[in-house]
Amino acid sequence: MDALIIDFGSQWTHRIHRTLTYLDVSSKIVPVTTPVADILKADVLIFSGGAIRIGLGDAHQTGNSREYIEKFQGPILGICAGQQFIGMHFGGTAQPAKGPEYGKVEIIVDDKDELFAGLPDKFTAWASHNDEVINTPNFKVLAHSKDCSNHAFKSLSRPIYGCLFHPEVEHTQHGSEIYANFLKIAKK
């Protein structure tokens, strides 16, 4: 399986690559300006996090990512800003979360779904955001926190998932399992 990690500028993008390598998945980090034809060769796409604030007009910094979502029909996982970008692309609204989350937060799983298969109902994760995306049509919220109503979601029509927290960061409990679960979904 080949994964392309679309780099939105996160300080932890390399950790996504490292986690996938640990899970025996070939991956490559690519810029948001990568030609669409090159993206279509991958088995899965992962949009990294980044300092961009999607809801404050920074979406222009996502390069060709809109086309990637439109033309790539395989599984997609968005992390942090990547999750927010996906949510807004499909009609959701970005807004400031009830409170910014930086550091460890308790994630409460609302729907086990395949992404959270085998995980407890609550776990600690690393977050780094001010905003959240709400009301994304045809998406289902899978997890939340005290200050954020949408920490994970999935599309009801395509194999597209998003996590606002960072499963690749070592402080996130069960982070590798979340990536492994996503890869199992991708193999279907």
Among 45, 61, 49, which Cα is nearest to 101's? 49
Q: Choosing from 17, 151, 166, 174, which is the catalytic residue?
A: 166
For residue 59, name the pLDDT band (cuts at 50, 70, 90): low
Q: Is 80 a catalytic residue?
A: yes
Tens of pLDDT along 101-110? 888 999 999 9
Which domain, by its residues, includes 167? 2-187
Element (H, E) at 63: none
Mean pLDDT over 5-16 rounds to 94
Mean pLDDT over 120-139 rounds to 94
d(C-alpha 141, C-alpha 46), whole Å: 19
Give the domain CATH number at 108. Answer: 3.40.50.880
How many domains is the chain built from?
1
Q: What is the pTM of this model?
A: 0.94
Q: Is 14 a catalytic residue?
A: no
Q: Choosing from 132, 144, 163, 168, which is the catalytic residue?
A: 168
Q: Is 163 a catalytic residue?
A: no
